[in-house]
Structure 1
């Protein structure tokens, strides 16, 4: 049976060592849509991805990447690295999204900005936060959320420095455990930040255990584009967030 491919095309910019963003995007893709990827360089594969490296990725020249992804005539272009923009703060994140939209001629959402869109849709202002980042990026992530009016009441660090492949190697069970550490009685939701962490696979299990919504970077990007273009929810898309569509 031939699949329906008459819906919008979604372009995604993905760091070149990221191995989990693409399968997540394809699994969550709204019916009829297709997802198209362009890989980003601009960082050292052998370095621990600390704040300097991620900030450098966010500030790197992506004009050629945008020229290439624009070839599929996407309705939206997603910037698929959360830490690359939150390390710079809210203003940079918004300006990058605007620049991508201008150069691509498409709607644009960053991963970090999509987290805020998702939390706003859920009317969440207090969260537990977890990620596989090194500590200084987590500090910057909490500051970024605070700039957007979101208070982190509990934070769970991974407890060790993970390389560019180590973040993506965490299992869904490890992500589940990290989410439980991030929970707090005052947290209205759990935020799992990082497009290369296998958070989407753990959403349903975490929500069942904690009884509160989970918002992840990749899930939030699909939600943002679905909300903006009035797209239907994929039948297998996990999480209370998609009930807001």
Structure 2
């Protein structure tokens, strides 16, 4: 008999409109019996480099119409699926956005940036290695965001060159694997791979085996928090030490 694909929990996911990897990642990560319902977000220029200014525009864009539309499927949980959009504004903005979405949708709510914090706390990590496909100035803001939540970045890896929206999504898993290795540090408790449009989910298990420590990615962390707050499980296998906590 085929695995049950719907009925337990409906998950609404807001996706930046140029993102090509969040949807397939969420399909791999979802527990049995849940259904995924995607809506796309604008508010930024697809032809511009996705720096802190562009991502701040996305974070500040009007959510009224997207929220009205996603409510059509009566989601139990809503995910805001862009990490950098709220990293560019800071922790208070992220918390306020989560509260606004929850109030308007009547659903439990997860943001990508908040999910990283949630995951690291669940793992008991204090020092991290950090990597993303962002421009260096946005990485600075991401590291400051995590520092304000109590996480010290002892390692960091920036991508070579400057990637546009298409380039971020086009990074191959082997590129992400090498980026994660460069971000590691002997004192790091975990390595964070930030960006919902980076193909990091596919290398979690391999990278954890290489580094001997947990690897946290934006998309993995979001689904972990969904499973945590909605009491869902078991978690799909092969996606790292974080998911093993749900299965346990």
- State the TM-score bracket (shorter-chain normalisation): over 0.9
Q: Distance in 1 between matches of 2:192 and 2:2?
A: 37
Retained in 2: the 8 A contact 1:12–1:37? yes
Q: Which residue of structure 1 lines up, in the alignment, with residue 94 of structure 2?
A: 93
The CA distance in 1 between the partners of 2:18 and 2:237, in whole Å, is: 26
Is the 1:155–1:182 Cα contact (8 Å) retained in structure 2?
A: yes
**Structure 2: how far apart are the matches of 1:231 and 1:199?**
23
* Residue number in structure 1 paired with 2:73: 72
Which residue does the alignment assign to 1:24?
Answer: 25
Alpha-carbon distance in structure 1 between the residues aligned to 2:49 and 2:90: 21
Deviations 1:4-58 (A, max 9, x none): 2221000000001100000000110111001110000111110000100000100
Q: Name the CA shift for 1:3/1:71 in 2 (closer, same or farther; >3 Å).
A: farther
CA distance in 1, matches of 2:56, 2:236: 36
Which residue in the other structure is 1:216 paired with?
217
**1:98, distance to aligned residue in structure 2 (A):** 0.4
Alignment-derived partner of residue 244 in structure 2:
243
Give, in angstroms, the shift of residue 3 of structure 1. 4.5
Q: Report SS of the residue matched to 2:75.
A: coil
Q: Distance between the aligned counterparts of 1:103 and 1:6, measured in 2?
A: 23
Alignment-derived partner of residue 229 in structure 1: 230
Q: List aligned pairs for 1:185-200, cutoff 5 A.
A: 185-200=186-201
* Matched residue, 2:135: 134
Deviation per CA, 1:62-88, whole angstroms, max 9, x where unpaired? 110011111111111000000000110
What do the CA deviations read for 1:73-114 (whole angstroms, capped 9, x no partner)? 111100000000011000000000000001111011100000
Q: Could you tell me how far 1:233 is from its partner in structure 2?
A: 3.0
5+ long unaligned stretches in structure 2? none
> Hey, what's the Cα distance between the residues in 2 that align with 1:200 and 1:167?
14
Number of aligned positions between the proteins: 245
Q: How far apart are 1:159 and its partner, in Å?
A: 2.1
- Pair 1:41-2:42 in alignment: yes
Structure 1 runs not aligned, ≥5 long: none
Q: Distance in 1 between matches of 2:55 and 2:168?
A: 14
3-state SS of paired residue (1:175): helix
* Change in 2 beyond 3 A, CA 1:235/1:144: same
Moved over 2 A (4+): 1-4, 233-237
**Is the CA contact 2:15–2:22 (under 8 Å) kept in the aligned structure 1?**
yes
Alpha-carbon separation, structure 2, partners of 1:52 and 1:34: 33
2:84 is matched with which residue?
Answer: 83
**Which whole-Å CA distance do the structure 2 matches of 1:60 and 1:174 have between them?**
31
Counterpart Cα distance in 2 of 1:200 and 1:30 = 15
